[in-house]
Structure formats: C-alpha cells, structure tokens
Chains A and B, each alone.
Chain A
Amino acid sequence: MNDLLEVLRQAITLLLERDSATWEITRLSLYVSGAALGLSTVAGLPLGALLALRSFRGRRLLVALIYTGMGLPPVAVGLCVYLLLSRSGPLGDLEWLFTPQAMILAQTIISLPVVAGLTMTSIQGADPALRVQLRALGASPLQVTMALLWEVRSGVLVALIAGFGAIISEVGAVMLVGGNIAGSTRVLTTAIVLETRKGQFDLALALTFVLLALTFAINMGTLLLQQRLTRR
C-alpha cells in the first residue's frame, strides 16, 4: 500500500482484465442514477419553481421538509424504501425489492429534495421585477416559469449536478434496497464496499478510480455546457 502510483497501475491492469463485469456495473450505476436524476428533474424543477413563485398553504412546511430531505442519510432513505417494498410491506406486491427499480426509487427520493431545493433558491435569486415584466409582456404563468428557469440556468445546472453527485456516490440506499446482487443490482459504489470488505483493495481502488473518472467526466461536460449556455 506504500506506492499509490503502483497501486493505481495495478488497478488499471485489473480493470482491463475483468472488463465486462466492470462495464456492466458502471452501466448500471449510470442507468440507476441517471434515471433517478431524470425523475428528480421532471418533478424537482416544477416543484422548485412552484415553491419559489407561489404562496400557498403548507408552503413553508414543504420547504422545511425539502431542506430536511437534502440532509437525509441515504441509508435512512434506503431503510424506508426497503420497508415499503418488502414483501411484508405495503408495496410488496410490486416485487421491486432487489431490482434496479427499487434503487431508482430510493435515489429519486434522495436527489429530489436537492434538485427542488436548489432550483427554488436559484429562482428566488432572480430579479423579482423580471417576473412582473414577463407577465406584462403577456406570458402565462407557465411561460413565466419557463423563462425564469432559463434565466437562472446556471443555478439549475448546479442543482442537477448536486442532485447527481448525491446519488452516484451513494452506497447506503442502493446496498439495502438493491442487495448488491452480482449481475443484476451491483453498482460501482456497492462493488467498492464489497471489494474493500473482501480485502481486495487493489480492485476496490480500481473501481473507485472508475467512479471518480465517471463523475469527473460528467461534471466537466456539465461545466462546458454551462459555459456554452451562459457565454456572452
């Protein structure tokens, strides 16, 4: 363990040796977290906009819940989803436990508050007079919301990055509701835990390297997109 570079070299060799299994869990990581982020986006952007732009009964409670949700430990979410999807649980008939669907559900619950909360604060940061101006130009409430989301697109992108970051590196929930089943619910993070537990540190490090490279590539891509979207 002394020479980290040496370990890294071994790690890459190991990766190349067991390529198909590694690619499979990498793909599943992307699929599960990508789908969860997609769902969080579809629900979180409108929710964040609603909370930023409208006042209604229970709004403050909802905001407090979202802020709480942003700090929930993934394993706690996983436990709740497990109890929900267990065959003895209320949604047991779905037979989702230990499937990617269960993992997507859990990760959606983890990332939704992040996406909604950060979207809300982004929109709240926009000039309130702009809303009035857009309305005066004849925008319907929906059109105002769309324009504001576009106006604060940098903030929305950050919300999505933060939401993705919260789940791609998350292990507690997917381990519990996915079960880390080889070939069906094993993702990068649970594989890392497994290999560490087994004492296969080289492999654990190699997988960590894959996870890092993946998130780095995604964040780099988003950064470039952000620059393109906001360039002068």
Chain B
Amino acid sequence: MQLKRLLATLAMLPLLAACGSSPVASTPAEPPGTAGAAAASPVLRLATTTSTADSGLLDAILPAFEALSGAKVEVIATGTGQALELGANGDVDVVLVHAREREEAFIAAGDGINRYHVMYNDFVIVGPVDDPAGIKDNPRASAAFAAIAAARATFVSRGDESGTHAKEQSIWASIGMTPTGTLVWYRSLGQGMGETLITANELGAYTLTDRATWLSTRKNVPNLTLLVGGATIEDNPDRTLYNPYSVIVVNPAKHPTVNHELAVPFANWLTSPETRAVIRDFGRTEYGQSLFLPEVAP
C-alpha cells in the first residue's frame, strides 16, 4: 500500500506542477507551432542587446506596436554576439544591435537584409570620486584612458565580447594599447554591465559604461562618479563615444521559417516619426534626459 502511494505521488509530480502553472502565459498549453507565421496570434521574435531591454526602453515602446499589429513581440535580450548568432540561425525574426562591423558582416553573409539606423546612445567613463588619474572633464576618452594607464589606476573591463567591451577595446587601440589581465591595474571580468559597475565600486576602479545602465545603477554605486562624457548625450564632447543602434530584418530567403511579414513592418514602425518621438522622451521623467536619441549619430 505505502509503496503504491509513493509511486502515485511521484507520478503526480509533473501534474501538480502543471496545475500550478496553468495561469502562466499561454505557451505551455498550446501545441508547438503557434509561434509560426500563420497562427491566430502572431509572434515576432526580437533579439537585442541587454542595453535596450534592461534600460526599459522596449517596455516603453513595444506595447504600441503590439496594439497596432495585433502581434506579440518576444524579446530575447542577450549579448551582441549571441543576438546576431540567433539571427544567423533563423531563431529570431529581427535583431536590434549596436556593433557596426559585426552588423556589416551579418549582412555580407546573407543572414540579414533591410538594415536601418534607429537611434544612438553613448558611453561614459565612470570612476572613483577622488579620481586618482585626474581624468575629470577630459574631453577625449582616448586621452582619459591614456591617463589611467599612465597612473596605473585600476580599470575594470566587461571582458565579455559585448558591444561595450568592443568599444572599450577600440579606445585602447586608438592609443596603441591592448591591455590584458596580466597588467596589475587592468581587470577583465567577463561580466554584465551591472556586475562590472559593482566591482568598480568596490575596487575604486574606472570603467566604461553605457549611460542608461549608469543612470539606473548610480544609486547603488556611491563610490563612483561620472568623469568623462558630459551630463547628457547631447553634452558628450567625444563623438567616438556615440553608440549607434541598427535594426536588421533576418533574410527570409535564407531562413524561410522566419516571420518576415511582421519583421518588415516592425523595422518601418521602429524608424517612424511617432516611435522616434517616444524614444526621445524615454527617460526624461525619471532622469531628466533622453537615454537614446532617435537619429543617425552625428
């Protein structure tokens, strides 16, 4: 008897779990295939970098597109490399990324078509309040990096092949340096932006961050302050710190299963005047400034 009861309990486990989950979304209950193009409620899959999703921008703009198209947009926020890889495998319908050279390679490989500029944001250099390398208000990021290296002041790097990491490497390259973890003052973390800012805060280190993440994390990292890049995007004196985003529609000729019918209107909508206005306003209430500027970077 007891044995049977145990077995019955074990057999029930998945069922119990299933009961507990019934109100969750609709996906588990529906048969596979609903994500396809012809289903009743179409789904658009968007792979993007963490910066657009984590800043809350997509939450602010996507409901309008969903209302307009009757489709659901599923956002997969990940690193730039992985986002493009998802597109190259046909696992998403459209990508929104910031990595100029890799975008061009993506198009060249035939994985994407219809690339549009959507907006740009910028990077800033943050560091300890006492600023041992003396970079505060330096108009050039490359000069600031050189000062940090000269002072052998601690610098933490994302070290994760993200767009931010790529930008940091290009700044080092512009002054003829390729710092590695063998240097005592250079720490390559392999972490996300939030974790990297925490680490910089604890180590009293400098780091390169996108402005949006800096603004939302600022309150948790009291030892850090913004040193290079200006108070707002418009005030940023160094245009090499500008970070342009493109939307790329995945090539339906190469990946017939993608939802091309929805991807093209999405790209058009993203670059429409109405959407641009929403993007420009995003962040103004909370931070008193735009986090993204909806035009081609100057």
Spell out A's residues near B (CB within 8 Å).
1, 24, 27-28, 30-31, 33-35, 37-39, 41-42, 45, 86-89, 92, 94-101, 146-147, 150, 153, 179-185, 193-194, 196-201, 229
The smallest beta-carbon distance between A56 and chain B, in angstroms, is 25
- Given A39-B14, A96-B32, A179-B74, is A27 in contact with B217 using a C-beta cutoff of 8 Å? no
Contact pick for A196, options B15, B35, B90, B194, CB 8 Å: B194
Contact B27 A99 (CB under 8 A): yes
Contact A28 B89 (CB under 8 A): no
Contact B32 A24 (CB under 8 A): no
Q: A167 CA to B261 CA in the complex, in Å?
A: 37
Contact pick for A98, options B16, B90, B91, CB 8 Å: B91
The smallest beta-carbon distance between A155 and chain B, in angstroms, is 13
| Residues of A close to B195: CB separation below 8 A | 196-197
Contact pick for A31, options B7, B28, B194, CB 8 Å: B28
B interface residues, tally (CB under 8 Å): 50
| Residues of A close to B7: CB separation below 8 A | 146
Chain B stretch 203-250: residues in CB contact (< 8 A) with chain A: 213, 216-218, 220
- Given A99-B32, A179-B74, is A34 in contact with B25 using a C-beta cutoff of 8 Å? no
Chain B stretch 239-298: residues in CB contact (< 8 A) with chain A: 255, 257-258
- Given A34-B14, A153-B6, A184-B25, is A197 in contact with B32 using a C-beta cutoff of 8 Å? no
Contact A28 B24 (CB under 8 A): yes
The smallest beta-carbon distance between B191 and chain A, in angstroms, is 9
Contact A31 B20 (CB under 8 A): yes
Interface string of B177-214 (1 = CB under 8 A from A): 00000000000000011110100000000000000010
The smallest beta-carbon distance between B162 and chain A, in angstroms, is 11
